Chains A and B, each alone.
Chain A
Amino acid sequence: MGLLDANISKHNVLVTSVDNVLNWARLSSLWPMGFGLACCAIEMMATNASNYDLERFGIFPRSSPRQSDLMIVAGTVTMKMAERVVRLYEQMPEPRYVLSMGSCSNCGGPYWKHGYHVLKGVDRIIPVDVYVPGCPPRPESLIGGLLKIQELVRMEQIGISRAEALKKLQEKSIDPGQLIQDARQGVEAS
């Protein structure tokens, strides 16, 4: 996970605020690699465009893996594409994050049973940090996923591994069921 975690054993190094500053800088300008593979890419483009305006979060698509620190896998990953996905992921500089967008890249989606040519989940080939469900997910869900990535970046510090950070993130999660119900009741009431 890059410079900061590089196998420095815990509690040997003391920093005050430098990782906070670094994390703030990083999470305020996440540059995702434009990696549209199928219809999810259309939603991703919509999220980048003026109505949802990802640039207010500092998120701006890059066309090169060398300049990006986030890969949004948006769409169906075929077996033919899988090796290219791995290669592009490896070309990204660390620390790098992966957001899997939509059912196809999460688990194969509608191609789960009969799609001989589809990779059943991009996590079979690269580590995924955040999964965004939906077929395709609405721009709001993608923004939600990106905010989760920002939370993950905020947790970067010396001596904490990505796995631990993801676990912490999971502990912080809240069950959306109640929220959804509240929102529905709100709509009905109004």
Chain B
Amino acid sequence: MEDTQENMPQSSEVIAAGKVWHVLREKFGDAISELDENPFMPFFEVRQTERWREIALYMRDSASLRFNYMACLSGVDYPEEEMLGIVCNLESLGHHGHKIAVKVKCDRNGGTIPSVAKVWKTAEWHEREAFDMYGMIFSGHPDPRRILCPEDWEGYPLRKDYQVQETYHGIKVPN
């Protein structure tokens, strides 16, 4: 399976993502990682987490990139690396049509990721959900509350080591 993938010519989407990555590499150098050229969703990682907002703004506003659309922002838990992360799926709708995914990681205990809620409005609620489920802090978020769980819920349900609380307001929670 892997062999055939290796031999297949790169799709136009991966080539377009490669061009995007080259523009960003020239501008930000080692702050971003190599491009993972998988055929499904090519992605790179932001190595210097504190520069994420700067990179995001450049991706949105630079004439050659124009990522005007955030399709999704998901949270990820990496318990082995003691990290939490987000994956942002970005797209340039109506301008260049290219797509790319960006991964940003932070420390698992009290780590922060710069919020991009002011860059893409979509990110506001998505970041609240990632915080609700994984517990990373989005610095500079306009409304950093939980979005789905109750305000006084304990713990972050989608972490791999999550243990549900015994009672909530006197009501037994587990089965």
Contacts and interface: CB of A to CB of B under 8 A. Distances in A.
Interface of A: 79-80, 82-83, 108, 112-113, 116-117, 119-120, 124-125
B172 to A, nearest CB: 6
Interface stretch (B18-26, B34-42, B163-171): B163-171
B71 interface: no
Contacts of A79: 150, 153, 168, 171, 173
Contacts, number: 28
A82 B153 CA distance: 14
B164 A125 contact: no
B175 A80 contact: no
Contacts of A108: 175
Nearest to B149: A117
A119 B164 CA distance: 12
A120 B173 CA distance: 7
B157 A120 contact: no
7 residue pairs, one from A and one from B, having the closest CB atoms: A116-B164, A120-B175, A80-B150, A79-B168, A116-B157, A112-B175, A82-B171
A104 to B, nearest CB: 13
Interface residues of B, number: 14
Contacts of A83: 169
Contacts of B169: 82-83
Given A79-B150, A117-B149, A124 B157 contact: no
Given A117-B149, A120-B175, 13 more contacts: A79-B168, A79-B171, A80-B150, A82-B169, A82-B171, A112-B175, A113-B175, A116-B173, A117-B148, A119-B171, A120-B172, A124-B171, A125-B171
B26 to A, nearest CB: 46
Contacts of B164: 116
Contacts of A117: 148-149, 157
